[in-house]
Amino acid sequence: MEKEHHIITKQQAASHVFSGHVYMFFAFDIGEDINFEAVKQSKECKTSPVNLSKFFKNYHAPLAIDTADNKKSPYCVDAKIHQFGAISITYKVPVSDTFKNLKSKLIAIDEEYQPRSINDALEIYQQIKPYISKPNFFHLRSYYTIIQIECDPEFSGSQIKEYFSHEIAALLRFETQTLSEHHKREILTSSVGYFKTDLIIIDTEAAFMYDPQYSELLDFFELGNIQQLELQYFDKLLDKQMTAIYEDKIRALPILAYLPFIGSKYFDPVGELTKLKVDISVITERLENSIKLVGETYFSEIYDQIVLNLDLKNWKDSIEKKFKIIKEVQYDYQNKIDTTREDILTTLIIILIMTELVVAIIKH
């Protein structure tokens, strides 16, 4: 049975001190693939299996790995390596203050942990670098922040939203100034809650959580952040291919590429494109299908909000659109190369026939 919340004035609420944590999820793309078996056997790397929640499937699970020096980052609660070439790090920083003061405190925490995350990720990268295919620190980085406030018996979720809507909106946009009513309403439209005491607001760069069962939801945000990283990586990879096409770099081919039978060893755009499509499909499907929310309406709603606010669908659409453009160009170019190879083969056949004819005439 839910407890009745006391009636409290806005003035009293403004000076109320709330406690909680700031969770920061960082993800770094560091290469193409990580050899997990080699990492596990390495004496320099301290790894352990990841205990996944009930909402996640066990295949293609990441490996937990220790940072080189935990004393440098006492609030680093989780570090993982992912087989498709990524590192994810989670920080949990305690906070205790009024909502008004939390705004500036959050910005200070963010400024402190942006460079710290790079240093911690670099230490992990240096440990596992020998086991990474095409290592590079780092191609891309993505991050997401959660402001988690402990539930207070004096405030329900609706009261938190009523009394602190301006402060929450500013928190989620990392602003110290009050946002306009339009932007505030835009941010608060994504608020959800299972019980009357709960309030969860998901925005593009951060989320606000006032929920006693919040720990069950953290993995969803981490997954969303990893998905965003990989989609950005593939989008950037396709950008490079499109740029190469526009600059005609792709057409600088050796003469052997035009020869029949052996030319495909030197230039096979359709084959390369098919391989890229497979790589994209395998990793994106692996990430999407790693979560199972059948019959979990509330958790499905939360995850759908994460997908929406992290713009994951638009990233996927962008990849599909660019892939389609590259596919059309590559197929057209492949047809031209095939035509050239056929012409060369026809010419060789004609020369062979003429040679045999000349030889036959000379003999007679």
Any domain includes 305? yes
Residue 303: its pLDDT value, please? Answer: 86
Backbone angles phi, psi at 43, to 5 degrees: -80, -20
Domain boundary among 221, 237, 271: 221
The alpha carbon of 333 is separated from its chain's Cα centroid by a whole number of angstroms, namely 32
Is 26 in the same domain as 171?
yes
Greater confidence (167 vs 329) lies with 167
Place of tokens 């938190």: 160
pLDDT digit string, tens, across residues 71-89: 566 789 999 999 889 999 9
Q: Are residues 209 and 260 in the same domain?
A: no
- Pair (96, 217) in one structural domain: yes
CB 222 within 8 A of CB 326: no
Per residue in 8-48, pLDDT (tens digit) is 666 777 788 899 999 999 999 999 889 999 999 988 888 88
pLDDT band at 2 (very low <50, low <70, confident <90, very high): very low
Q: Do 175 and 278 belong together in one domain?
A: no
pLDDT value at residue 125? 94
Separation between Cα atoms, residue 257 and residue 341, nearest integer Å: 9
**Residues 63, 80: Cα–Cα separation, whole Å:** 5
Can you give the residue range of the structural domain that contains 266? 254-363
d(CA 285, CA 138) in angstroms, rounded, equals 23
Residue range 229-251: average pLDDT?
A: 78
pLDDT in the model for residue 132: 94
Give the model's confidence band at 3: pLDDT under 50 very low, under 70 low, under 90 confident, else very high: very low
Residue 246 lies in a domain: no
The domain tally of the chain equals: 2
| 234 belongs to a structural domain | no
Return the pLDDT at 118: 94
Out of 54-58, 106-110, 302-306, give the one with best mean pLDDT: 106-110
Judgement on whether residues 45 and 178 belong to the same structural domain of the protein: yes
Report how far residue 154's alpha carbon sits from residue 6's, in angstroms, rounded to the nearest whole number: 6
More confident residue, 245 or 93: 93
DSSP helix/strand/coil, 113:
helix
Note the pLDDT tens digit of each residue in 263-276.
455 455 566 677 77
**Same domain? 87 vs 215:** yes
Domain end call among 173, 206, 221:
221
| Domain assignment of residue 242, yes or no | no
Residue 241 resides in a domain: no
Are 106 and 206 within one domain? yes
What are 364's two structure tokens?
């007679």
Are 158 and 83 in the same domain? yes
Closest CA to 229 of 12, 65, 26: 26
- Please compute the mean of the pLDDT values over residues 95-112 and round it to a whole number: 92
Can you give the length of the chain in residues?
A: 364
Residue 310 and residue 205 in contact, taking contact as beta carbons nearer than 8 Å: no
Structure-derived torsion over alpha carbons of residues 73, 78, 79, 80, reported in degrees to the nearest 10: 180
Mean pLDDT of 94-102: 92
Give the model's pLDDT for residue 144.
96
Residue 53: is its pLDDT beyond 80?
Answer: no
pLDDT of residue 1: 39
The residue ranking higher by pLDDT, 248 or 296, is 296
The pLDDT assigned to 177 comes to: 85
363 pLDDT band, cuts 50/70/90, is: confident
- Within a domain: 300: yes
Contact between 193 and 301 (Cβ < 8 Å):
no
| DSSP line for 213-258 | TGGGGHHHHHHHHHHHHHHHHHHHHHHHHHHHHHTTGGG---GGGG
Domain boundary among 221, 244, 277: 221
43 or 292, which is more confident: 43
- Say yes or no: 203 and 280 in one domain: no
Across the beta sheet with 86-97, the strand order is 47-49, 63-65, 76-82, 86-97, 18-29, 141-149, 206-210, 199-202, 191-192
Residue 346, pLDDT above cutoff 70: yes
289 with 205: CB under 8 angstroms? no
- Model confidence pLDDT, tens digit, residues 122-142: 999 999 999 999 899 988 899
Average pLDDT over residues 152-166: 86
Mean pLDDT of 147-161: 88
Residues 298 and 150 grouped into a single domain: no
pTM of the model: 0.81
DSSP 8-state assignment for residue 204: S
Pair 177, 29 in one domain: yes
Does residue 236 lie in a domain region?
no
Average pLDDT, the chain: 82
Structural domain includes residue 231: no
Percentage of residues in the chain having pLDDT higher than 90:
30
Check: CB of residue 132 under 8 Å from CB of residue 33. Answer: yes
Q: Please report, rounded to a whole number, the percentage of residues in the chain having pLDDT higher than 70.
A: 82
Render the burial of 257-281: b for 16+ CB within 10 Å, e for the rest: bbbeeebbeebbbbeebeebeeebe
Residues 143, 201, single domain; the answer is: yes
Q: How many CB atoms lie within 10 A of CB 108?
A: 9
